[in-house]
A and B are shown apart, each in its own frame.
Chain A
Amino acid sequence: MSSNATVTRLCASSVDHTQRAPVHLMPCEIQSNGSAQVSQFFTATTKDHKSEKTVSFRGRGLKGQELSCPQGYTGLVLKEVHKPSSDQEDRTVRVSSVFDKLTYWNLETPPNSDDTVVMAMDWPELAEGVRVLAFILLH
């Protein structure tokens, strides 16, 4: 854990020249960080039936659906390019890709509104409710 005094700078200008990338939330832990042939193996074999998507990964059947970022929100993938050598140093993260929707996948179960990640998307709007100052609301 880094010291309470250190900060992590989010290099915001990096957003401008960032590519959009499709993002998939997988229902398994893949013990790897780095490149993967996602379009060749995954995207190429994904089937679309109305709003439900199907694919398989490592021989297991997945069902998925797209989920949009809440209004006023953008998906940002942050990447730490250079890890500081000590936990007393400030850190910097850059935006490595942006997205406005993600696809989440369930293992075998059809996606539905009770899925936790769908419910988690309630949070930004509720956070807005908790934040907004009372006097603005009293029309």
Chain B
Amino acid sequence: MAAKKKRSPNVDNDSWVTIAADSVVDAQKNDSDPTFVRLRNPSTGAASLYVLGSGDLQLYEVKAFEEDFHSWFIGQTVQRDGRLVFITPMDPLFLIVPCLSKSAKEGTFQPLDQVVMDEEFSACSRLLKCKSALASLHHIAEEKEVETLKFYRFSQDKTIDWLKKKVERTVTVLKKREICVGEGVKSTTYVRVKPAADHQEEDYLRYAHGLISEYISQDLSTALLKHLGLPQLMSPKETEPPAKKRKISEQPVEAVEDYTKFNGADFSRKPLKKMTAAQKTLAKVDKTGMKSMSSFFSPKVKAEKK
């Protein structure tokens, strides 16, 4: 038998199988075409692909089902790329929160167009055209009107309340879809002991919190967890497997490569813009021996890891 052909990289892909919300291509409302744009992912800080609907009125996120060894037959064609791309509506506030919270450090009310922007991702300012976002800004910010102009200041308390409602809504859908939220392996060979009802409720809350955390910074995620009345887990074994635990680190991650472009990795990253005088002073202080704030909240596993 001849030797099996080696897999070669699929470099010339020009076709994608997608499942998209009907509104993406709803011809009735189209005055302009929807566009795929790259924006900063609020959780990872890295570039992610989104879709801005016609007239930028609607935001969608793009996620791909991707498993090795798949291809498509489409009509009378074969497509090597076996991914299935989902284009689902997303709340634009999730992308506005990091813009507002970043500027909140200055503590002043600011006009939106000066805040909702990202030098790296020029499409960011188009979020301001999302009607639903403008109408619901009060969920995440305090509003001040001076004559005809509106000014905003990020409110963490409001945002956390808003996020809590998201978590609750997500729990409802999780239950409706009967999605397995319990810890451990989903497997027919491992029968899980049925937990008490309240325990199960906590499973749902934690699971929904984890999902919402895909859309917010680590700091907000930690604050939200506290607000939900869920203690930080003492041992990752108790719920999420260790691999799923996020690293909570106040120390800047040592840069192996130049990540200045995509330094989205860590939310303790330096502010992109100038530091305040106080911050500068703080930055110069020798922090060795000081305990970071978050270390009080972080799980003990960190200490065990050595």
Contacts and interface: CB of A to CB of B under 8 A. Distances in A.
A34 B170 contact: no
Given A70-B19, A72-B22, A77-B16, A35 B173 contact: no
A134 B89 CA distance: 15
B36 interface: yes
A15 B80 CA distance: 23
The 4 closest A-B pairs by CB, nearest first: A134-B165, A21-B75, A129-B173, A127-B88
A70 B89 CA distance: 13
Contacts of A116: 65, 67
A35 to B, nearest CB: 6
B24 A12 contact: yes
The main secondary structure of chain B at its interface with chain A is mixed
Given A30-B80, A74-B22, A126-B174, A133 B70 contact: no
Contacts of A77: 15-18, 74
Given A36-B78, A120-B86, A23 B69 contact: no
B17 to A, nearest CB: 5
24 contacts: A7-B35, A7-B36, A8-B36, A22-B73, A22-B75, A25-B82, A26-B72, A30-B78, A31-B8, A31-B80, A33-B13, A33-B81, A34-B77, A36-B73, A38-B76, A69-B19, A73-B19, A75-B18, A78-B15, A83-B14, A96-B15, A128-B173, A129-B173, A137-B165
A44 interface: no
A131 B36 contact: no
Interface string B104-146: 0000000000000000111100000000100010010000000
Interface stretch (B26-34, B147-155, B238-246): B26-34
Interface of A: 4-13, 15-16, 19, 21-39, 42, 69-70, 72-80, 83, 93, 95-97, 114, 116-117, 120, 122-135, 137-138
Given A12-B54, A33-B12, A73 B91 contact: no
Contacts of B86: 120, 123-124, 127
Contacts of A12: 24-25, 27, 30, 33-34, 54
Given A23-B74, A36-B76, A74-B20, A124 B65 contact: no
Given A4-B122, A79-B14, A97 B75 contact: yes
Contact of B166 (A34, A38, A117, A134): A134
Contact of A13 (B5, B14, B27, B77): B27
* Secondary structure class of chain A's binding surface, majority of residues: mixed
Contact of B17 (A30, A75, A129, A130): A75
Contact of B14 (A7, A31, A80, A130): A80
A126 B170 CA distance: 7
A122 B69 contact: no
B61 interface: yes
Nearest to B120: A4
Contact of A79 (B15, B19, B120): B15
B234 to A, nearest CB: 28
B16 A93 contact: yes
B277 interface: no
B15 A25 contact: no
Contacts of A72: 21-22
B30 A38 contact: no
Contacts of B27: 12-13, 15-16
